[in-house]
A and B are shown apart, each in its own frame.
Chain A
């Protein structure tokens, strides 16, 4: 049976949900449709906006500066569009996101005019913009702190000993940091064997009374012995109420604790995904999971029909605007094989960072010989081209459809792994597309 919505957003990661929330807040009847879990759930849960220029080693002083620099150096960068929309500046967008996440498990701290150097699970620091409240600390630069890296026995993701060594080396090399760094392995396993534990298991365990008591006891024991004032934990502080858990542990141990940035799929990433879904619902939007967009109909330059498919059912929608936020290779927005790259829903031409077609280029030819290259792999810059309203362009360079917008990593022109701009571009483009699509709907009436 068909369903009618003003706006259909294809993809439900950060870009799709941001677009969906924005449109729903403007009273458009919005459907966000997603096949699975969304790649945002695989992220660290911190929101990077702009960290480095490609090849650079010095992080930008502020995300704002980074956005301007990237837009200036790379004219085709998605951030270059921001200049032409004064009403939706970076400042507005960042504070909008903070507002919608306020009070959620992944409430964010940070601002557009400060680069936060967040400590990772490897003991290194990474430039980012917003971190979740549980990942936030201001005391990392205090030299008189004693920092404890507390790992969990059986949690393979985090080795507190190497992390403390890495941080100590950077302090010795002249960076400001705690004068004393210690590490420990806590024993608190949700099941019998302390081996092969995943962060999510621990996050669920810590939400039980037993689990929380256990970790507090272990931490108390360790802080008394070492005189710890600041504790770095892997991100396991719960899925639903991490802020209360953080507070409770801090009260019981007399220290400040914070979560480190971790590998995918992380607990904070999971929290961010769930919090955004809750915001969409609150704004009046609908989320439909387990469906893929499989085909479309276009008439007179407009998308008039999208076919959505679940394992055993298919139905059509007739949206007034469509937002494509299907992501890149993990999200499924782009697919590559030995004959080249293609966009999976509308078969839009795939371009590289300089807007040359890579339709027939074997993806392996878009990677460098060195896996970790400072300039990054050109493959990650590939995506679909867009105009200043984020409408995808077709083979001839014309707008593909006047009511189709695209957001997030399906777009070309930015190299998120080296720029540290992944979720930032998703946020900025998602917000702009959501507003544009909603205006398109109300303007069309």
Chain B
């Protein structure tokens, strides 16, 4: 038996014994857990622990302790590991930089590959959709119905329809993400209006496929690699120089994949593109008052932008909002608090997700805002549903749509 064969043999033995050696990048994440000093700062900030208590969700510290102080029998943690929304608050406040969001993903990955029976049924269902359609949502059966739904949305928002553009060699790829592709189509349309308005040389993808974040959250490593490979091939075929998205989750996930796999193609959220590439001054020339009175808005900061990408993105959001005439921004005390929509928690434990968002709703209602805007279709959906359930008449808009709506003559 030569060395190669011996290695393969050992690996197979490990598999039989349900042991998975850590890869180099995983090892980094695992080592970060060893830094935990058990101070409990994360528990003070975790939105899930705040909402349901440590009895239901032991919190980031519980997860860290579990991984660092006992043998890694991940399945003992399954009732909790799927309650993490992946907001990244714990990683941000942690004095020792413990990378909890990636620890959670790592554990979900291991549970999925070794004890799929312990993965919640709802996540398996989500994964089935991903495997079947390469999308996070079941796509529309009938393209005409999809178009009709889109037109209805555009009509309600008083936005024009612009035909899709797919063009090889374009400068920018506009990647809408699954939510804007299949559900919140107005976000996808609004982004096209914006890009068109500033004469951006852009293209869409030939066939929309998921960015792979939901597969990572389910723990299906194989599918997540497949999805990112499909997307990369499309990107290469189109020959674009940068990617612009309207989804917070896609922005952070594609940035992470691009960095890890040396894509050398920058990925921006459309807010960053507007401020950095077009310029606030240029954008403001296109804006006009939306209504005959001052519109008071409040902003919700999506975790995938502020904590996984950069808090400056939301600073940009404020700069753009301040450039719209007759828009007054009021701050909600929970503006940067997770809305509970992330980490597929809404899929598998909607009850938990609903308690988390209560705090956001309370804070939004406390402001005098008549409208809440957020640059993420997922946060928009989560907050919209909760405000509706609450009986509030505060309107909810994706920020991309809000900006497109305030274009002069638009």
Please tell me if the beta carbons of B41 and A311 are within 8 angstroms of each other in the complex.
Answer: no
With a CB–CB cut-off of 8 A, which chain B residues contact A193? 53, 55
With a CB–CB cut-off of 8 A, which chain B residues contact A338? none
Please tell me if the beta carbons of A37 and B311 are within 8 angstroms of each other in the complex.
Answer: no
Please tell me if the beta carbons of A36 and B94 are within 8 angstroms of each other in the complex.
Answer: yes
**Among the listed B39, B92, B309, which residue makes an inter-chain contact with A265, where contact means beta carbons less than 8 Å apart?**
B39
With a CB–CB cut-off of 8 A, which chain A residues contact B50? 201, 204
Q: Using a CB-CB cutoff of 8 Å, which residues 287-346 of chain A contact chain B?
A: 288-291, 310-313, 315, 330-332
With a CB–CB cut-off of 8 A, which chain B residues contact A97? none
Among A197, A289, A311: residue with most chain B CB under 10 A: A311
With a CB–CB cut-off of 8 A, which chain B residues contact A270? 44
Of chain B, the residue at the smallest CB distance from A192 is B55
Known contacts A310-B312, A312-B310; is A39 also within 8 Å of B54 by CB?
no
Interface residue stretch chosen among B25-33, B155-163, B216-224, B251-259: B251-259
**Among the listed B37, B45, B276, B307, which residue makes an inter-chain contact with A1, where contact means beta carbons less than 8 Å apart?**
B276
Known contacts A41-B41, A289-B92; is A312 also within 8 Å of B55 by CB?
no
Among B55, B88, B308: residue with most chain A CB under 10 A: B55
User: How far, in whole Å, are A200 and B307 apart by their CA atoms in the complex?
Assistant: 22
With a CB–CB cut-off of 8 A, which chain A residues contact B41? 37, 41-42, 265
CB distance from B98 to the nearest CB of A (A): 11
Known contacts A37-B95, A200-B43; is A290 also within 8 Å of B53 by CB?
no
Q: Using a CB-CB cutoff of 8 Å, which residues 153-195 of chain B contact chain A?
A: none
Of chain B, the residue at the smallest CB distance from A157 is B40
With a CB–CB cut-off of 8 A, which chain A residues contact B327? none
User: How far, in whole Å, are A315 and B311 apart by their CA atoms in the complex?
Assistant: 12
With a CB–CB cut-off of 8 A, which chain B residues contact A313? 309-310, 312-313
With a CB–CB cut-off of 8 A, which chain A residues contact B43? 198, 200
Please tell me if the beta carbons of A191 and B53 are within 8 angstroms of each other in the complex.
Answer: yes
With a CB–CB cut-off of 8 A, which chain B residues contact A289? 92, 311
User: How far, in whole Å, are A90 and B52 apart by their CA atoms in the complex?
Assistant: 45
User: How far, in whole Å, are A198 and B46 apart by their CA atoms in the complex?
Assistant: 12
With a CB–CB cut-off of 8 A, which chain A residues contact B255? 312
With a CB–CB cut-off of 8 A, which chain B residues contact A330? 37, 95
Please tell me if the beta carbons of A290 and B256 are within 8 angstroms of each other in the complex.
Answer: no
Please tell me if the beta carbons of B53 and A265 are within 8 angstroms of each other in the complex.
Answer: no
Please tell me if the beta carbons of B311 and A290 are within 8 angstroms of each other in the complex.
Answer: yes
Of chain A, the residue at the smallest CB distance from B55 is A193
**Among the listed B44, B94, B252, which residue makes an inter-chain contact with A312, where contact means beta carbons less than 8 Å apart?**
B252
With a CB–CB cut-off of 8 A, which chain A residues contact B39? 42, 264-265
Please tell me if the beta carbons of B93 and A37 are within 8 angstroms of each other in the complex.
Answer: yes
Judged by a CB distance under 8 angstroms, whether B36 is at the interface is no
Majority-rule SS of B interface residues: helix
**Among the listed A196, A290, A331, which residue makes an inter-chain contact with B307, where contact means beta carbons less than 8 Å apart?**
A290
Judged by a CB distance under 8 angstroms, whether A190 is at the interface is yes
With a CB–CB cut-off of 8 A, which chain A residues contact B93? 36-37
User: How far, in whole Å, are A39 and B93 apart by their CA atoms in the complex?
Assistant: 10
With a CB–CB cut-off of 8 A, which chain B residues contact A95? none
With a CB–CB cut-off of 8 A, which chain B residues contact A1? 275-276
* Contact flags A170-214 to B (C-beta < 8 A → 1, else 0): 000000000000000000001111011110110010000000000
Please tell me if the beta carbons of A311 and B275 are within 8 angstroms of each other in the complex.
Answer: no
Known contacts A37-B95, A191-B56; is A311 also within 8 Å of B307 by CB?
yes
* Contact flags A11-42 to B (C-beta < 8 A → 1, else 0): 00000000000000000000000011101011
With a CB–CB cut-off of 8 A, which chain B residues contact A200? 43-44
With a CB–CB cut-off of 8 A, which chain A residues contact B52? 191
Q: Using a CB-CB cutoff of 8 Å, which residues 296-318 of chain B contact chain A?
A: 306-313, 315
**Among the listed A36, A191, A265, A291, which residue makes an inter-chain contact with B44, where contact means beta carbons less than 8 Å apart?**
A265
With a CB–CB cut-off of 8 A, which chain B residues contact A190? 53
User: How far, in whole Å, are A190 and B49 apart by their CA atoms in the complex?
Assistant: 11
Among B41, B45, B88: residue with most chain A CB under 10 A: B41
With a CB–CB cut-off of 8 A, which chain B residues contact A42? 39, 41, 95
Please tell me if the beta carbons of B55 and A290 are within 8 angstroms of each other in the complex.
Answer: no
**Among the listed A35, A195, A311, which residue makes an inter-chain contact with B55, where contact means beta carbons less than 8 Å apart?**
A195
Majority-rule SS of A interface residues: loop
Please tell me if the beta carbons of B45 and A37 are within 8 angstroms of each other in the complex.
Answer: yes
With a CB–CB cut-off of 8 A, which chain A residues contact B276? 1
Please tell me if the beta carbons of A312 and B256 are within 8 angstroms of each other in the complex.
Answer: yes
With a CB–CB cut-off of 8 A, which chain A residues contact B55? 191-193, 195-196
CB distance from A341 to the nearest CB of B (A): 17
User: How far, in whole Å, are A270 and B43 apart by their CA atoms in the complex?
Assistant: 12
Among A42, A190, A313: residue with most chain B CB under 10 A: A313
User: How far, in whole Å, are A201 and B44 apart by their CA atoms in the complex?
Assistant: 7
With a CB–CB cut-off of 8 A, which chain A residues contact B309? 310-313
User: How far, in whole Å, are A186 and B409 apart by their CA atoms in the complex?
Assistant: 64
User: How far, in whole Å, are A313 and B43 apart by their CA atoms in the complex?
Assistant: 27
User: How far, in whole Å, are A111 and B50 apart by their CA atoms in the complex?
Assistant: 36
Please tell me if the beta carbons of A310 and B311 are within 8 angstroms of each other in the complex.
Answer: yes
With a CB–CB cut-off of 8 A, which chain A residues contact B95? 36-37, 39, 42, 330-332
User: How far, in whole Å, are A147 and B50 apart by their CA atoms in the complex?
Assistant: 32
With a CB–CB cut-off of 8 A, which chain A residues contact B37? 330
Among B54, B259, B275, B276: residue with most chain A CB under 10 A: B54
User: How far, in whole Å, are A42 and B307 apart by their CA atoms in the complex?
Assistant: 21
CB distance from A281 to the nearest CB of B (A): 10
* Contact flags B240-265 to A (C-beta < 8 A → 1, else 0): 00000000000010011001000000
CB distance from B307 to the nearest CB of A (A): 6
CB distance from A345 to the nearest CB of B (A): 15
User: How far, in whole Å, are A36 and B256 apart by their CA atoms in the complex?
Assistant: 20
With a CB–CB cut-off of 8 A, which chain B residues contact A197? 54
Of chain A, the residue at the smallest CB distance from B306 is A290
CB distance from B262 to the nearest CB of A (A): 15
Of chain A, the residue at the smallest CB distance from B255 is A312
Please tell me if the beta carbons of B54 and A288 are within 8 angstroms of each other in the complex.
Answer: no
Of chain B, the residue at the smallest CB distance from A330 is B95
Please tell me if the beta carbons of A311 and B45 are within 8 angstroms of each other in the complex.
Answer: no
User: How far, in whole Å, are A289 and B335 apart by their CA atoms in the complex?
Assistant: 14
Known contacts A36-B95, A37-B95, A201-B53; is A291 also within 8 Å of B40 by CB?
no
Known contacts A191-B53, A311-B307, A312-B255; is A288 also within 8 Å of B312 by CB?
yes
User: How far, in whole Å, are A197 and B37 apart by their CA atoms in the complex?
Assistant: 19
Of chain A, the residue at the smallest CB distance from B93 is A37
Please tell me if the beta carbons of B311 and A291 are within 8 angstroms of each other in the complex.
Answer: yes
Of chain B, the residue at the smallest CB distance from A204 is B50
User: How far, in whole Å, are A310 and B316 apart by their CA atoms in the complex?
Assistant: 15
With a CB–CB cut-off of 8 A, which chain A residues contact B313? 313
* Interchain Cβ contacts under 8 Å between A and B, 26 examples: A35-B92, A37-B45, A37-B92, A37-B95, A42-B41, A42-B95, A191-B52, A191-B54, A191-B55, A193-B53, A193-B55, A196-B54, A198-B44, A270-B44, A288-B312, A288-B315, A289-B311, A290-B307, A290-B310, A290-B311, A310-B309, A311-B307, A311-B308, A312-B259, A313-B313, A330-B37
Lowest 10 CB-CB distances: which A-B pairs, in order?
A: A191-B53, A310-B310, A313-B310, A37-B93, A200-B44, A312-B255, A312-B309, A1-B276, A330-B95, A265-B41
Known: A198-B44, A201-B50, A290-B310. 11 other contacts (CB 8 A): A37-B41, A191-B55, A193-B53, A196-B55, A200-B44, A201-B49, A288-B312, A288-B315, A290-B311, A311-B252, A312-B310
